Chains A and B, each alone.
Chain A
Amino acid sequence: MGAGKLVLTLLFLAALVGAVPPAAAEYADVLLNRRSEKEGMRPVVFPHWFHRIRFRCKVCHAELGFKMRVGGNDFKMSDIAEGRFCGACHNGDIAWAPDKCDLCHSGKRGLPTGIYGGHETGGPGRW
């Protein structure tokens, strides 16, 4: 592809991105669906907005060691039940216990793991 064509393609894509109305999910919502749906549960929705009202980023991304990459932390339900990842707080102490399945597993079936919310400006590498 020549440079001119490449640019035209990019501009066309840019126009497309601009034309689609922003996804209505709240900015920075994370959807996790690596195994949930395969194992009969709805995908998990993790709302950043809700948690950052209560915790600074450093709590999850430094103290608890969540890597800043959606899908980058490979944890399972058993880790949560044993007090790791979400389970470091969702343990009946800092927040409600993991028995409230439906509060986390509230996502729409069929959606892939990812970060949602409209302004995702990932650029050419992510289009």
Chain B
Amino acid sequence: MRVSIFQGKTIRLGLAAALVAVVSLSVLAQQGWDTLRKDGIHDPRGPGVKELQEPAEALSKLTKDNTGNQVRWVQALEKGEINPRASIRPDTKIQVYDSDVLLNLKGGMPIVRFPHRQHTLWLDCTNCHDHLFKAETGANKLSMLSILNGEQCGVCHGAVSFPLTECFRCHSVSRPGQAPKPTLPIAIPHGAVPPR
């Protein structure tokens, strides 16, 4: 294998291609929920599908999103539409931490605001600290390519939490002089656009 694959320029090109893929996925935003019989992973002839709950029955009652489970989960929780248990054992310590961290203070995309409060409503500190992120501002080398690769924020986002197609939910703080939601592909760094 040639080492050049790992050099900076190619990584940028890879990032550009990966972002194109992700953005092209978002064009196919779905509407409504498929029935279990037609969802491709349940056995339509098995006895289970007759008894299991259909996603539409439960999810259509919650605050709507246009992606993922088509539910704004944080809002559903905060409005009390759902009340998921935070523990099942009486002695478990439950912690919520209210602090926003701004990430990516140098790049071309709007700054990323990481909100601890919304995360710790759902998650425990140990879900992220310290195996994914050191609990110290600026101590982590984050990158969009790793995220798209299912690491860092991408462990959850793109798998269970809202998907990576929602760029501006993370890149939510515009820089001075920047439109709040710049149109893509402003994100793609110079030199990363493939040759025509």
**Total number of residue pairs linking A and B with CB closer than 8 Å:** 217
Number of A interface residues at 8 Å Cβ cutoff, please give it: 66
Using Cβ atoms and an 8 Å threshold, which residues of chain A touch B86? 56, 58-59
Using Cβ atoms and an 8 Å threshold, which residues of chain B touch A3? 4, 9-10, 13
Using Cβ atoms and an 8 Å threshold, which residues of chain A touch B2? 1
Q: Contacting A108 at CB < 8 Å: which of B42, B126, B160?
A: B42
A17-B82 CB under 8 A given contacts A106-B46, A124-B149: no
Q: Shortest CB–CB separation between residue A102 and chain B, in angstroms?
A: 4
Using Cβ atoms and an 8 Å threshold, which residues of chain B touch A120? 158-159, 163
Contact with A along B5-42 (1 / 0, CB 8 A): 10001100110111011101101101001101011111
Q: Does B89 make an interface contact (CB < 8 A)?
A: yes
Q: Does A76 make an interface contact (CB < 8 A)?
A: no
A29-B41 CB under 8 A given contacts A3-B4, A123-B145: yes
A4-B195 CB under 8 A given contacts A63-B92, A68-B127, A123-B150: yes
Complex CA gap A21/B38 in Å reads: 14
Complex CA gap A52/B24 in Å reads: 28
Cross-chain pairs A/B with CB under 8 angstroms, 5 sampled: A24-B38, A24-B39, A27-B69, A28-B159, A121-B148
